[in-house]
Amino acid sequence: MIGDIIGRAGRRALEEHLPRLIDKYSIDFTVANGENLASGFGLNRKTADEVFSLGVDVLTNGNHCWDQREFLLLCDEDDRFVRPMNFSSHAPGRGWTVLETAAGHKIAVINLIGQIFMGPWDCPFAAADRALEEIPDDVSAIVVDMHAEATSEKMGMGWYLNGRVSCVYGTHTHVPTCDETIMPGGTAYQSDIGMTASYQSIIGMKVEGALKRMVERLPQRFEAVERGASIFATVVTIDTSTRRATNIQRIHIPPA
């Protein structure tokens, strides 16, 4: 899994390193959060195709899902896009998807968004239950991207789904956590993977603009830092006969 990929810098870092990482760790399936692909705000066909061509299999989303109007159409056209399951039932797109690896294993990916400090979304716990009822029984693994601000809410989802899914991991804060673990029920968990972006920034955005908004309390346009990205990702090994995780490992590739 790859945390929020921010703008050109994040895409270039993946171009340089992702194919090698897939080979090094014998990766069968790659999920990335794509809500910041296009200059830090949303995603479009061009930016999505860039990362798909590098080996990303599914792009999850979050609160920036609709920042690029093009995605309103794209999300219904391609099974590789998912948006939070607990968005309005009237929203386009899908909250979960199932894709097959080269080895023939079917992998389900569920996307959820938190409520605490986030927005008036539907209940993510109820949405998770609904997704699990809808996902076919023949999948080999179930992976959940919980896009949320509050660590407690992400941990709550981890425990709620413990033993029911293969992995629950957090995105959104852009700050990696070192609490990766295998829960008692065989569910891999990490509160936040972090971001694939420049860490000489304020969560991927240029320092000057972000500070100006904080200090002066006036509207200010955020701009993504376009160079010097680090990659933060997590590799999970899953026993496809049981859907249980057997190992979880954080990866950090600093900028050259």
Cα-based distances in Å from 65 to 114, 179, 181, 183, 221: 14, 27, 29, 30, 18
State yes or no: 90 annotated in a binding site.
Answer: no
> Position of tokens 């090994």?
237
What is the full DSSP assignment across 9-20? HHHHHHHHHHHH
Domain 4-253 fold: Purple Acid Phosphatase; chain A, domain 2 (3.60.21)
State yes or no: 252 annotated in a binding site.
Answer: no
Tokens of 39: 């200059």
Q: Which of 64, 90, 105, 252 is catalytic?
A: 64
> Position of tokens 């957090």?
170
**Would you state the pLDDT for residue 82?**
98
State yes or no: 44 annotated in a binding site.
Answer: no
Q: Domain boundaries in the chain?
A: 4-253
Quick: pLDDT tens for 160-214: 999 999 999 999 999 999 999 999 999 999 999 999 999 999 999 999 999 999 9
**Would you state the pLDDT for residue 130?**
98
Do 79 and 97 contact (CB within 8 A), yes or no?
yes
Report d(CA 96, CA 110) in Å as an integer.
4
Do 139 and 108 contact (CB within 8 A), yes or no?
yes
**Would you state the pLDDT for residue 220?**
86
For residue 132, report the phi and psi dihedrals to the nearest 5 degrees. Answer: -65, -30
Report d(CA 87, CA 113) in Å as an integer.
8
State yes or no: 145 annotated in a binding site.
Answer: no
What is the full DSSP assignment across 156-205? HHHHHTTTTSSEEEEESS----S--EE-TTS-EEES---EEEESSSBTTB
Q: Is 252 a catalytic residue?
A: no
Does the pLDDT of residue 256 top 90, yes or no?
no
| β-bridge partners, 245 | 238
pLDDT band at 235 (very low <50, low <70, confident <90, very high): very high
Q: Could you tell me whether strands 4-5 and 244-253 are parallel, antiparallel, or unpaired per DSSP bridges? A: unpaired
State yes or no: 147 annotated in a binding site.
Answer: yes
